[in-house]
Structure 1
Amino acid sequence: MSTIDNKAYAKIVENGVQAVETVQELHSAGYAAEHIYVLAHDQDRSDRIAEAADAGHIGLKEEGVFTAIANLFRSRGDELRAKIISLGFTESEARFYEKELDLGRVLVIAKRTA
Protein backbone atom coordinates (compact mmCIF):
# COMPACT_ATOMS: atom_id res chain seq x y z
CA MET A 1 0.00 0.00 0.00
CA SER A 2 2.38 2.65 -1.22
CA THR A 3 0.00 5.62 -1.29
CA ILE A 4 -0.45 5.84 2.48
CA ASP A 5 1.05 9.00 4.00
CA ASN A 6 0.38 11.29 6.95
CA LYS A 7 -3.10 12.28 5.76
CA ALA A 8 -6.34 10.66 6.82
CA TYR A 9 -6.97 7.53 4.78
CA ALA A 10 -10.35 6.14 3.76
CA LYS A 11 -11.19 3.12 1.69
CA ILE A 12 -14.52 1.56 0.79
CA VAL A 13 -14.42 -2.24 0.61
CA GLU A 14 -17.07 -4.76 -0.33
CA ASN A 15 -17.11 -6.93 2.80
CA GLY A 16 -15.64 -7.73 6.20
CA VAL A 17 -12.88 -9.94 4.81
CA GLN A 18 -11.59 -7.10 2.64
CA ALA A 19 -11.89 -4.72 5.62
CA VAL A 20 -9.74 -7.02 7.78
CA GLU A 21 -7.15 -7.26 4.97
CA THR A 22 -7.11 -3.46 4.61
CA VAL A 23 -6.66 -3.00 8.37
CA GLN A 24 -3.77 -5.47 8.33
CA GLU A 25 -2.14 -3.51 5.49
CA LEU A 26 -2.56 -0.31 7.51
CA HIS A 27 -0.96 -1.94 10.56
CA SER A 28 1.97 -2.96 8.34
CA ALA A 29 2.21 0.62 7.06
CA GLY A 30 2.63 1.92 10.62
CA TYR A 31 -0.89 2.89 11.66
CA ALA A 32 -1.71 2.03 15.28
CA ALA A 33 -4.86 0.01 16.00
CA GLU A 34 -6.42 2.85 17.99
CA HIS A 35 -6.20 5.09 14.90
CA ILE A 36 -7.88 2.68 12.48
CA TYR A 37 -11.66 2.61 12.35
CA VAL A 38 -14.14 0.34 10.60
CA LEU A 39 -17.68 1.47 9.87
CA ALA A 40 -20.60 -0.48 8.46
CA HIS A 41 -24.21 0.62 8.36
CA ASP A 42 -25.10 -1.97 10.99
CA GLN A 43 -23.49 -1.24 14.38
CA ASP A 44 -23.11 -4.93 15.26
CA ARG A 45 -21.35 -5.58 11.95
CA SER A 46 -19.02 -2.62 12.59
CA ASP A 47 -18.17 -4.00 16.03
CA ARG A 48 -17.56 -7.56 14.78
CA ILE A 49 -15.30 -6.43 11.93
CA ALA A 50 -13.39 -3.99 14.16
CA GLU A 51 -12.79 -6.72 16.72
CA ALA A 52 -11.67 -9.25 14.10
CA ALA A 53 -9.39 -6.69 12.46
CA ASP A 54 -7.93 -5.21 15.66
CA ALA A 55 -9.25 -1.74 14.86
CA GLY A 56 -10.28 1.05 17.23
CA HIS A 57 -13.68 2.55 17.92
CA ILE A 58 -14.74 6.12 17.22
CA GLY A 59 -15.49 7.49 20.68
CA LEU A 60 -15.49 10.62 22.81
CA LYS A 61 -11.90 11.43 21.97
CA GLU A 62 -12.63 11.54 18.25
CA GLU A 63 -16.20 12.86 18.29
CA GLY A 64 -16.25 15.21 21.25
CA VAL A 65 -18.83 15.18 24.02
CA PHE A 66 -21.59 17.08 22.21
CA THR A 67 -21.46 14.94 19.07
CA ALA A 68 -21.34 11.73 21.09
CA ILE A 69 -24.43 12.77 23.07
CA ALA A 70 -26.23 13.95 19.95
CA ASN A 71 -25.51 10.60 18.29
CA LEU A 72 -27.64 8.91 20.94
CA PHE A 73 -30.67 10.61 19.39
CA ARG A 74 -29.72 10.47 15.70
CA SER A 75 -30.66 7.96 13.04
CA ARG A 76 -27.88 5.53 12.13
CA GLY A 77 -27.20 7.42 8.89
CA ASP A 78 -26.90 10.75 10.70
CA GLU A 79 -24.69 9.12 13.34
CA LEU A 80 -22.38 7.64 10.70
CA ARG A 81 -22.02 10.98 8.91
CA ALA A 82 -21.22 12.71 12.22
CA LYS A 83 -18.57 10.08 13.03
CA ILE A 84 -16.98 10.44 9.59
CA ILE A 85 -16.94 14.24 9.89
CA SER A 86 -15.38 13.96 13.37
CA LEU A 87 -12.41 12.23 11.72
CA GLY A 88 -11.74 15.21 9.47
CA PHE A 89 -13.83 14.57 6.39
CA THR A 90 -16.18 17.12 4.82
CA GLU A 91 -19.97 16.92 4.91
CA SER A 92 -20.08 15.95 1.22
CA GLU A 93 -17.46 13.22 1.75
CA ALA A 94 -19.44 11.94 4.73
CA ARG A 95 -22.64 11.81 2.63
CA PHE A 96 -20.80 9.88 -0.11
CA TYR A 97 -19.34 7.35 2.34
CA GLU A 98 -22.65 6.91 4.15
CA LYS A 99 -24.40 6.13 0.85
CA GLU A 100 -21.77 3.46 0.19
CA LEU A 101 -22.46 2.00 3.65
CA ASP A 102 -26.18 1.95 2.77
CA LEU A 103 -25.24 -0.40 -0.09
CA GLY A 104 -23.67 -2.88 2.36
CA ARG A 105 -20.07 -1.84 1.88
CA VAL A 106 -17.58 -1.22 4.70
CA LEU A 107 -15.52 1.92 5.28
CA VAL A 108 -12.01 1.70 6.70
CA ILE A 109 -10.55 4.98 8.00
CA ALA A 110 -7.07 5.55 9.40
CA LYS A 111 -5.50 8.65 10.89
CA ARG A 112 -1.90 9.23 11.84
CA THR A 113 -1.12 11.25 14.91
CA ALA A 114 1.49 13.95 14.79
Structure 2
Amino acid sequence: MQQQSVPAALAPECCAACQCHRQHACSILTAVSARLFISTVPLHRRVHMPVIRVELWEGRTLEQKRELVKVLTRETARITGCGKASVYVIIDEVKKENWGAGGELCSEKYPE
Protein backbone atom coordinates (compact mmCIF):
# COMPACT_ATOMS: atom_id res chain seq x y z
CA MET A 1 0.00 0.00 0.00
CA GLN A 2 1.30 3.42 -0.89
CA GLN A 3 1.59 5.82 2.01
CA GLN A 4 -0.40 9.01 1.71
CA SER A 5 -1.16 12.02 3.79
CA VAL A 6 -4.36 11.94 5.83
CA PRO A 7 -6.36 15.13 6.30
CA ALA A 8 -6.11 16.29 9.92
CA ALA A 9 -9.90 15.96 10.30
CA LEU A 10 -9.64 12.19 9.72
CA ALA A 11 -6.59 11.63 11.89
CA PRO A 12 -6.94 9.54 15.03
CA GLU A 13 -7.17 11.71 18.16
CA CYS A 14 -3.87 10.38 19.47
CA CYS A 15 -2.10 11.81 16.41
CA ALA A 16 -3.61 15.29 16.57
CA ALA A 17 -0.57 16.86 18.21
CA CYS A 18 2.30 14.90 16.68
CA GLN A 19 0.94 14.54 13.13
CA CYS A 20 2.37 10.99 12.96
CA HIS A 21 -0.70 9.92 10.97
CA ARG A 22 0.92 11.52 7.95
CA GLN A 23 3.69 8.89 8.08
CA HIS A 24 1.74 5.68 8.71
CA ALA A 25 -0.44 4.00 6.09
CA CYS A 26 -2.21 1.93 8.75
CA SER A 27 -3.55 5.11 10.33
CA ILE A 28 -5.19 5.99 7.04
CA LEU A 29 -7.20 2.77 7.10
CA THR A 30 -8.07 3.17 10.77
CA ALA A 31 -9.24 6.76 10.40
CA VAL A 32 -11.17 6.20 7.20
CA SER A 33 -12.71 2.90 8.37
CA ALA A 34 -13.87 4.48 11.62
CA ARG A 35 -15.39 7.42 9.76
CA LEU A 36 -17.14 5.12 7.25
CA PHE A 37 -18.49 2.86 10.00
CA ILE A 38 -19.95 5.79 11.92
CA SER A 39 -21.56 7.26 8.82
CA THR A 40 -23.26 3.97 7.86
CA VAL A 41 -24.86 3.33 11.27
CA PRO A 42 -28.28 5.01 11.54
CA LEU A 43 -28.42 7.69 14.23
CA HIS A 44 -31.17 5.94 16.21
CA ARG A 45 -28.93 2.85 16.49
CA ARG A 46 -25.95 4.87 17.76
CA VAL A 47 -27.89 6.67 20.48
CA HIS A 48 -29.84 3.83 22.12
CA MET A 49 -27.19 1.27 22.98
CA PRO A 50 -27.04 0.28 26.65
CA VAL A 51 -23.45 -0.29 27.71
CA ILE A 52 -22.90 -1.74 31.17
CA ARG A 53 -19.40 -1.51 32.61
CA VAL A 54 -18.66 -3.75 35.58
CA GLU A 55 -15.49 -3.22 37.61
CA LEU A 56 -14.56 -5.95 40.04
CA TRP A 57 -11.57 -7.63 41.59
CA GLU A 58 -9.85 -10.42 39.72
CA GLY A 59 -10.68 -14.00 40.54
CA ARG A 60 -14.13 -14.72 39.11
CA THR A 61 -14.47 -17.87 37.03
CA LEU A 62 -15.47 -17.85 33.38
CA GLU A 63 -18.80 -19.40 34.38
CA GLN A 64 -19.48 -16.58 36.90
CA LYS A 65 -18.69 -13.94 34.28
CA ARG A 66 -20.86 -15.74 31.72
CA GLU A 67 -23.81 -15.77 34.14
CA LEU A 68 -23.27 -12.11 35.06
CA VAL A 69 -23.33 -11.09 31.38
CA LYS A 70 -26.42 -13.21 30.72
CA VAL A 71 -28.42 -11.84 33.67
CA LEU A 72 -27.40 -8.20 33.14
CA THR A 73 -28.28 -8.46 29.45
CA ARG A 74 -31.65 -10.11 30.07
CA GLU A 75 -32.72 -7.69 32.79
CA THR A 76 -31.49 -4.58 30.98
CA ALA A 77 -33.41 -5.60 27.85
CA ARG A 78 -36.53 -6.32 29.94
CA ILE A 79 -36.42 -3.01 31.79
CA THR A 80 -35.44 -0.74 28.88
CA GLY A 81 -37.40 -2.52 26.17
CA CYS A 82 -34.41 -2.85 23.86
CA GLY A 83 -33.28 -6.05 22.20
CA LYS A 84 -30.74 -8.26 23.93
CA ALA A 85 -28.40 -7.82 20.97
CA SER A 86 -28.22 -4.08 21.76
CA VAL A 87 -26.89 -4.60 25.29
CA TYR A 88 -23.13 -4.60 25.76
CA VAL A 89 -21.45 -5.69 29.00
CA ILE A 90 -17.80 -4.84 29.64
CA ILE A 91 -16.07 -6.54 32.55
CA ASP A 92 -12.95 -4.82 33.86
CA GLU A 93 -11.03 -6.98 36.30
CA VAL A 94 -8.75 -5.06 38.62
CA LYS A 95 -6.04 -6.43 40.90
CA LYS A 96 -6.65 -5.61 44.57
CA GLU A 97 -3.25 -3.91 44.64
CA ASN A 98 -4.56 -1.43 42.04
CA TRP A 99 -7.75 -0.57 43.93
CA GLY A 100 -7.92 1.70 46.96
CA ALA A 101 -10.68 2.16 49.52
CA GLY A 102 -10.67 4.42 52.54
CA GLY A 103 -7.08 5.46 51.95
CA GLU A 104 -5.71 1.91 51.82
CA LEU A 105 -4.87 -0.54 49.08
CA CYS A 106 -7.52 -3.25 48.99
CA SER A 107 -4.79 -5.91 48.85
CA GLU A 108 -3.83 -4.82 52.38
CA LYS A 109 -7.29 -3.93 53.64
CA TYR A 110 -8.89 -7.16 52.41
CA PRO A 111 -6.19 -9.84 52.28
CA GLU A 112 -7.19 -13.26 50.96
TM-score for the superposition, normalised by structure 1: 0.24
Higher Cα Rg, which structure: 2
Which one has more relative contact order, counting CA pairs under 8 Å at least 6 apart? 1
